[in-house]
Amino acid sequence: MDGAGLHQGLSADEGEAAVVRRCLITALFASIFLQRFALPIGDDGLAINLLVTVFALMVMAVRGAITLDPVRTVLFFLLAAAASLSTAINAGFASVPSLALFLLIYAPFILSLRNSEGVFEACVRAFQAMVLVCALFGILQFVTQFVIGNPIPFSFKGIVPDWLLLPGFHTANPLSWNSPYFKSNGFFLVEPSTFSQYLAMAVILELLYFGVTWRLLVFGLALPTSYSGTGLVLLLFILPWLLLHLRAYGAIAGGLVLLVVALVTGSLWNLDALLSRVNEFGSEGSSANARFIAGAWVVGAFLLDSAKDVIFGFGPGAYPQYVKLVPYEAHDPAWVKMVFEYGLLGSAVFWPFFLISLFRGVPSRWVAWSVLIGYLTFGGMLLDPRLHVWILIFCVLPKRPSAASVQARDDWTSPLMRPVS
């Protein structure tokens, strides 16, 4: 190839990479700032951010920027066959729209970027900036309640038409029963728990790729205003090992100082309301119990009575219907909903497909493990189009450099060896 041809080839690749970055950052933007909006299609509405993600992938496909991964493609079609078989066996009760949503959300997991150079880094920078905006709004939400009332709303009700809002979420969540004060949700996010989840991921990414920065302080200040344990669960599993891995002793010292300050000033910001969440695991009807434990009770109460149901499940969309029959509140962790609706057969295909998609060729194993822990603990993640944008952008689509170009140390997980700047 002569000089002119090489220059044209590089220009084409650079143009393709720019399109990919714009498409994925647009999908990321929609997953954060438009996550509370949906079209009135079906009982639960069709999330607008899911449509934006699909459109972004279509644009990249037209540009020839994505390719099929053969292993994931085969596993996806096996999964589709198992899910369709469960639907057919439970015909008349299974939800075909739920099956369609399931396949639509996981079909992109067969894709990879043809050229992923710079994409992961650009998306990390964009994610951090977007979550920073939510963190600042969340802090203002909380503080202004005690100073001048609540000028920053917790819900879009009254601002946009009700038919445009995603139903079924507690955007305005009081600190405790009959409390006049509310947990922060970052204004744009569906719930305080979601706010804490995004903040936790932002803390992990900040440490990985930027180190100890002023943004880390903002994320740390915003996290307790959500009064939610899901983000803290993620940090509890990941943060100690990550800080030791990075030798971030300054961050460890700063975190301990922040913890001491939080404990000393706890009476000013209702620390007892946050600490009380620890006791919820054994309390029937509590959020923690519903999120982490009660789903297993539902499986034991209904699924285990029949070998056919154990193998094939009750079909897509069945779990919410059965939850209505129990006297306690139960959420839908991904493993519970998967085995309840698609049985052991569907689960036996889904989890290898999901884990291979998540970890094979991943830019950062730390990020992949963080996403997996969130997927298993946040609740409702099996069909959550917001978290799936995280998975696609940070784990599935970008490819890791070839083994020949990777040093023995994991360059993609070290802020010193591969900084995002």
Task: List per-block mean pLDDT (blocks of 10 residues) for the chain, which spans 421 residues.
Answer: 48 76 96 90 83 95 92 97 96 91 96 89 96 94 80 71 75 75 87 93 94 91 88 90 80 71 61 54 59 83 91 94 86 90 96 95 93 88 90 88 38 41 35
Per-residue model confidence (pLDDT) at position 149: 67
Per-residue model confidence (pLDDT) at position 411: 41
Per-residue model confidence (pLDDT) at position 175: 77
Determine the longest span between alpha carbons in the chain, in angstroms.
Answer: 74
- Residues 6 or more apart whose Cβ sits within 8 Å of residue 338: 346, 347, 350, 351, 382
| 43-67 pLDDT per residue, tens | 777 889 999 999 999 999 999 999 9
CA 124 to each of CA 26, 72, 209, 225, 350: distance values in angstroms, whole numbers, following the listed order:
13, 24, 9, 24, 27
**In sequence order, what DSSP letters do the residues of 161-228 get, joined into one string?**
-GGGBPSS--SS-BSSTT-S-B---TTTSS-HHHHHHHHHHHHHHHHHHT-S-HHHHHHHHHGGGG--
R_g over Cα of the chain: 22
Burial status of residue 31 (CB atoms within 10 A of its CB: 0-12, 13-18, 19 or more): buried
Distance CA 147, CA 285 (A): 33
Burial status of residue 337 (CB atoms within 10 A of its CB: 0-12, 13-18, 19 or more): buried
Question: Cα dihedral angle (319, 36, 25, 402), rounded to 10 degrees?
Answer: -20
β-partners of residue 67 are 112
Per-residue model confidence (pLDDT) at position 415: 42
Distance CA 81, CA 350 (A): 11
Per-residue model confidence (pLDDT) at position 276: 55
Cut 0.85: pTM above it: no
Using an 8 Å Cβ cutoff, are 318 and 86 in contact?
no
Query: How long is the chain?
Result: 421
